[in-house]
Amino acid sequence: MRSPQNCTSIEEIREAIDMIDEKVITLLGERYQYVKEVVRFKEPTEESIIAKGRFNAVIFSRRRMAEEQGLDPDLIEKIYRELLTHFIDEELKMIRKKK
């Protein structure tokens, strides 16, 4: 895959974007596998699953990572809030099934 500056057509750029998106989605799937396993190490309570302090720490660090990459930290925060909320909901479903 060529660097963005060395692409010679819109098709080449779109192909590269599609390849990157595939990697991003694969990594999100991998992340989800860890989310499913983390439940084994948490207390089976909603408070433990929600882990507000950890949630806020992740948001803060991802904003910082976004800034380091020249990305809009507000956008990254929105994405991560949605992602983390979804994964927390999945964890809550897991602990409720065990009860």
The per-residue pLDDT for 99 is: 66
Tens of pLDDT, residue by residue, the chain (99 residues): 899 999 999 999 999 999 999 999 999 999 999 999 999 999 999 999 999 999 999 999 999 999 999 999 999 999 999 999 999 999 999 999 876
DSSP letter (8 states) at residue 42: S
Interatomic CA distance for residues 7 and 78, integer angstroms? 30
Locate the domains of the chain by residue range: 1-41, 43-99
pTM of the model: 0.88
Q: Which amino acid is at 71?
A: L
